[in-house]
């Protein structure tokens, strides 16, 4: 058995090379991020679509409860992107992860305040640019991921082309990874320095979504996980709820008004903030439940510690150290 390597991002070190994906809105809060950080991974708070003071309070709570690495994930598509970034830095976050669009200015901010920036990319061109501009690490997010997608290319087809162009910083694989064997495969056969996983952590005891939300995950069959169009202007991967079925049929699902004014560009087809919050609170009939492509393979709710120990055990049983 080979021990898994640590994941070093800037001056930060995660003992276990797992980043917990930052799921908005209020899916991954400090309640989930803290136990992940305590297990030696990188715990991530979803920082999109919530008020800056609420995000700051949650980051401070997380930082007071663990010495581990706490990150925040902020979508570039958010209207308040800059305020959320600055607010997170002020609250003492260790790391900023950003995707759903590409910001050049974020790297200058990261350098100024000495906060590492991790870019989520879905193409070799953006990976190369992110490394050049100063990303401390890069997450390759492929078609199997949940939520907003930047590509239709599967992880095992996409990763090698990006591995070729990223040479100086850690490269992390994301999208549809459900167990430690797949983690070891991505690290051994594809040269990933670590993995990012999100959906597996929704089915954790600590994830603060409603029981109904977790039930939708548990009951999902392969055919229930579909692509939807998001008002952000990107496709997204979600589970077929009655709301999603209406969307697929082309029924009118628009909101009567825009209450949140959360996105830089919104096509107003429906209010994504409202629909994600409905599902979070337990109204899964009218809500939107984002999920990775392989959620149907996961059939039990475990504690974060159990998820980590399984991943590590499985990965280390087959992992071969890079020569």
Instruction: Report whether 176 contacts 307 (CB < 8 A).
Output: no
Residues 74 and 37 occupy one common structural domain: yes
Residues 178 and 267 occupy one common structural domain: no
2 falls within a domain: no
Quickly list H helices, the chain. Answer: 30-38, 52-65, 81-90, 105-113, 124-133, 155-165, 180-188, 199-202, 211-219, 242-249, 272-281, 304-318
- CA 211 from centre of chain: 20
Estimate the share of the chain in helix, then strand, then coil, as percent rounded to the nearest 5. 40, 20, 45
Q: What is the pLDDT of residues 119-142, one digit of tens each?
A: 999 999 999 999 999 999 999 999
Residues 288 and 305 occupy one common structural domain: no
Could you tell me the residue range of the domain that residue 157 belongs to?
Answer: 7-207+298-318
What's residue 273's pLDDT?
94
Tell me, what CATH number does 126's domain have?
A: 3.20.20.70
How many angstroms separate the CA atoms of 308 and 209, rounded? 20
Q: How many angstroms separate the Cα of 51 from the Cα of each of 25, 43, 57, 58, 180?
A: 11, 20, 10, 11, 35
251 falls within a domain: yes
Q: What is the pLDDT of residues 178-197, one digit of tens each?
A: 999 999 999 999 999 999 99
Q: pTM for this structure?
A: 0.96
DSSP 137-183: EEEEE-TT-SEE-S-SS-HHHHHHHHHHH--SS-EEEESS--SHHHH
pLDDT at 254 over 60: yes
Residues 288 and 313 occupy one common structural domain: no
125 falls within a domain: yes
Residue with tokens 């799921």: 23
Q: What is the pLDDT of residues 150-177, one digit of tens each?
A: 889 999 999 999 999 999 999 999 999 9
What's residue 223's pLDDT?
97
Residue with tokens 């900023």: 96
Across the chain, what does the average pLDDT equal?
Answer: 95
Instruction: Report whether 61 contacts 30 (CB < 8 A).
Output: yes
């Amino acid at each position: 058995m080979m021990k898994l390597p640590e994941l070093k991002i800037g001056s930060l070190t995660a003992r276990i090379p797992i980043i917990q994906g930052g799921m908005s809105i209020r899916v991954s809060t400090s309640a989930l991020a803290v136990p992940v950080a305590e297990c030696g991974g990188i715990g991530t708070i979803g920082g999109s679509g919530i008020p800056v003071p609420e995000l700051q309070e949650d980051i401070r709570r997380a930082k007071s409860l663990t010495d581990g690495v706490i990150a925040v994930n902020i979508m570039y598509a958010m209207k308040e992107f800059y305020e959320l970034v600055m607010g997170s830095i002020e609250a003492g976050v260790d790391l900023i992860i950003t995707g759903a669009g590409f910001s050049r200015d974020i790297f200058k901010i990261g350098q100024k305040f000495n906060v590492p920036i991790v870019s989520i990319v879905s193409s070799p061109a953006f990976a190369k640019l992110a490394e050049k501009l100063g990303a401390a690490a890069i997450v390759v997010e492929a078609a199997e991921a949940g939520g907003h997608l930047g590509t239709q290319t599967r992880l095992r087809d996409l990763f090698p082309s990006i591995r070729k162009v990223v040479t100086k910083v850690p490269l992390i694989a994301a999208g549809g990874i459900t167990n430690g064997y797949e983690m070891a495969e991505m690290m051994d056969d594809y040269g990933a320095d670590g993995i990012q996983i999100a959906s597996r952590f929704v089915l954790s005891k600590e994830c603060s979504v409603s029981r109904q939300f977790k039930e939708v995950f548990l009951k999902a069959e392969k055919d229930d996980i579909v692509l939807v169009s998001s008002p952000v202007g990107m496709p997204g991967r979600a589970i077929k709820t009655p709301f999603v079925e209406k969307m697929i049929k082309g029924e009118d699902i628009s909101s009567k008004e825009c209450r949140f004014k959360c996105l830089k560009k919104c096509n107003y087809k429906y209010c994504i903030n409202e629909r994600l919050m409905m599902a979070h609170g337990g109204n899964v009939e009218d809500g939107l439940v984002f999920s990775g492509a392989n959620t149907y393979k996961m059939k039990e709710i475990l504690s974060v510690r159990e998820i980590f120990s399984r991943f590590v055990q499985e990965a280390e049983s087959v992992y071969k150290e890079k020569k």
